[in-house]
Chains A and B, each alone.
Chain A
Amino acid sequence: MPPLYGKLDLAAWAKSAPVINGYKTEPWILKGARIVTLNMEIDDDPADNLLPATMHPSIPAYAIFCVTNYPDSPVGPFSIAEVRVSGRTGVRPRGFVLRSFCDNENARRELAARWGYPTVAGEVKLYVRHDRVVAQASAGGKQALECELLDRDMISGGDIQYIASMHLARNHDDGKLVLVQVDPDFTFSKAERGKPRVILLDNDAFGAGANLRLANPISATFTTADVTLPKIRYICNPELPAMQGTTKVAA
C-alpha cells in the first residue's frame, strides 16, 4: 500500500538521543513567546534519510526552521533554534526535529527530560527590525544557522497552522527509543508573514549531513504567542509505521 517511509539510520541517531524522564510531565505555560518559522522545500529523495520509518515524507518534502524566544519560563528566559523535517505520522502532519540549539542550560535539561527535545548548548539570537526578522544560532563560536523573514506583512493568527513535533528520545525507565509527539498550543496575539531566506546553514550542526538540500522557499511567519508545552499524549515506536506503533499515554 501507500506511500514512502522514512529511512533514518536509527542506530546512528540513537547515539545523540536525549533521555526523557517518563511521559508524565506537567504542561508549561510560556507567555509572550516570539516565534520565527521558515518553511523551505527540500529535495525529496535525500530528505527520506532524515525521517524515521514511523513517518511518511510529505509531498513535497519541506524543512521547518523555527527560532523561538521565551522571555519567561519556570527556568528563566531562554531561546531555542531547531530544524524539523516535515512528514506524516499516518495521516497527521508532523515535523521530525533533527536538532536544536538552546541558550539556557536549565531549559535544555528540562526540555530534554520532560519532552525529549534534542538540544545542544548554543547561542540563539532573534533580531526584530522593521524590514525583516533575523534569527541566528551558533555554538562554540561557530555559526550553525542564520535565516530571516523579509517583507513583513500582518496576517491573522487564525491563518497560522504550526504542526506538532516528533522527538527521538530514550526513555529513562526502560531504556527504549521512542518518538515523542509534542503538540504545543498557541494563542496568538500577533502574526506576520513574509518571505523566507536562509543565509547560512551548517547541515552538520543539525546532524543532517548531505541529506538536507534546500530547494524552493515557501513562507515565513513571525508571531507573538502564549505557548503551552503540553502533557505528552502520544509516543511512537520509531521502527514501526505510525499506524502500528503509536501508543496513547495521556488523555
Chain B
Amino acid sequence: MKFGLFYEISVPRPWGRESEKTVYDNCLEQVALADQLGFDSVWAVEHHFLEEYSHCPAPELFLTACAMKTKKMRVGHGIIVCVPEFNHPIKIAERTAVLDILSGGRLDVGTGRSATWTELAGFRANPDETKKTWDEFVHCLPKMWTQERYSYQGRSWSMPQRTIVPKPYQKPHPPLWVAVTSPGTEIDAAERGMGSLGLTFGGFAEQEEKVKRYRKIIRNCTPVGEFVNEAVATVNFLYCHEDEAEGVKVGRRLSGTFNYLAAQLLAAREAYPSKSYPSLGLLPSLRQEASGPGDASGAPEGIAIGNPARILRELKKWEAVGCDRVNFLLNALETVPQEKVLDSLRLFAKEVMPHFQGASDSAAAAGGR
C-alpha cells in the first residue's frame, strides 16, 4: 500500500492575491514535507470556475513546482480533462512530456472528462460527447508520446504528420490512469489497461466488488499504451492526531467543509439530462460517504481521521479489499491550520505508514520509524 496527497486547492472567500498565494504556498510546504516523510505521490485536479472549491486550473504548473521541491515523490495529474474544448491533445502530449522530463521521470497521467455543468458549459463543451472524446484521447496519447512522427484523422480532432517533441523521460511512457467516479468506469479502465484512479470512496463491499471486477477484466485487456498499468487507487481525507476525539473532530470539520463546498456546484446531470452522466460524479458520492453514520469514535467507516490506531485500522480494510494506494485530501478552505496539517502528516508517517509494505521502507528511511 502506498500513500499520496491529493489536491483540489480550495480557497476561502473572499479570495485575493495573498490568500491564493498562501494556499498554494501551504500546499507546496506540505508536499515538500511529505516527500521527506516517504509519501509516494502528489496528485492535482484540473478544475475551472469552481469558486472556493478548487482554484486549480493549471495542475501542470503546480505539479512542476511540486517536482522542483521534491526528490522522490511522483507527480500525478488527477486528472487532465480529455475534452477538446479544455485541452488540445497535442498540448497534453507536449506538456506531460516536459513535466516528465523536469521531474526526472516521475509523472503519472490521470485522465477524465469533467462532471460539472459549471465547467463543461464554461468551455462550451457538449456533455454528450465527453466520454467519446476521452476514449479517443487516451488511445492517441501513448502514440503521440512514442511515435517519432505522428498523424491522426479522428472523430473529434485530427492532425497532419508532425514530430511531437519532446518525448517523455520515462520509457516507454508515463503510466496512464482513469478517474473512476461513475459506476462502470473501472471497467473502462480495465479494458484499456489503465490504472483505476478512484475519486469516490464507496463502501468497502462496493469497493471490493469493483476491484475484483477490475482485476479480472484487466487480465485480458487491450492496453491503449505500451504496457498495462494495473493499479487501484482510492481517495480519502486525512487528519491524524494523538487524541482520537480531537482527530475525529477536526477531520469531520475538514470532510464536512469539503463536502459542503462540493454540493454548491452544478453537476452535469442536474442541469443537462444525458446518458453520458448517469451519476452525479465525484462530489455527491464523496459527500454521502463521508457524512455517513460514524463508528464508536464518531467517524464514518473508512475515513482516515482520528488517532493513528483508528486510521491504521481503516486503511488496513482498504488494503484488504485490494486498493494499492490511498491519496489523501488534507484540507478544505484552510479549515485546518497549516501547522496542524504538517503535524498530522508527521504523525501518520511515524505511526501508521510503517505498518504497510511498500510504504514502510521509505517511511523508515525518512526517520518515520
Binding site for B on A (CB under 8 A): 1-4, 39, 41, 56-60, 62, 86, 88, 90-93, 155-156, 158-161, 163, 191, 193, 216, 218-219, 221
Contact = CB atoms under 8 A, between A and B. Distances in A.
Contacts of B13: 2-4
B121 A216 contact: yes
Which 5 pairs of residues, A with B, have the shortest CB-CB distance? A91-B263, A159-B273, A219-B272, A218-B271, A3-B264
A3 B121 contact: no
Contacts of B275: 155-156, 159
Interface of B: 12-13, 49-52, 117-118, 121, 257, 259-261, 263-266, 269-275, 278, 287, 333, 335
Contact of A41 (B121, B260, B278): B121
Contact of B121 (A155, A158, A218): A218
A233 to B, nearest CB: 18
A2 B261 contact: yes
Contact of B118 (A60, A92, A193): A60
B273 A91 contact: no
A161 B269 contact: yes
Contacts of A39: 271-272
Contacts of A93: 263, 270
A161 B266 contact: no
Given A2-B52, A60-B118, A91 B270 contact: no
Given A2-B333, A91-B259, 9 more contacts: A3-B52, A39-B271, A41-B121, A60-B121, A156-B275, A159-B273, A161-B269, A193-B274, A218-B117
B10 to A, nearest CB: 10
B273 A193 contact: yes
B238 to A, nearest CB: 21
Contacts of B121: 41, 60, 216, 218
A191 B274 CA distance: 11
Contact of A91 (B52, B117, B260, B266): B260
17 contacts: A1-B260, A2-B261, A3-B13, A3-B260, A3-B264, A39-B272, A59-B49, A59-B50, A59-B264, A60-B118, A86-B266, A155-B273, A160-B273, A193-B274, A218-B121, A218-B271, A219-B272
A59 B271 contact: no
Contact of A92 (B50, B52, B117, B263): B263
B266 A60 contact: yes
Contacts of B271: 39, 62, 218-219
B182 to A, nearest CB: 13
Contact of A159 (B118, B260, B274, B335): B274
A59 B118 contact: yes
B327 to A, nearest CB: 23
B331 to A, nearest CB: 14
A10 to B, nearest CB: 22
Given A161-B273, A193-B273, A59 B51 contact: yes
A4 B183 CA distance: 32
A194 B127 CA distance: 13
Nearest to B259: A91
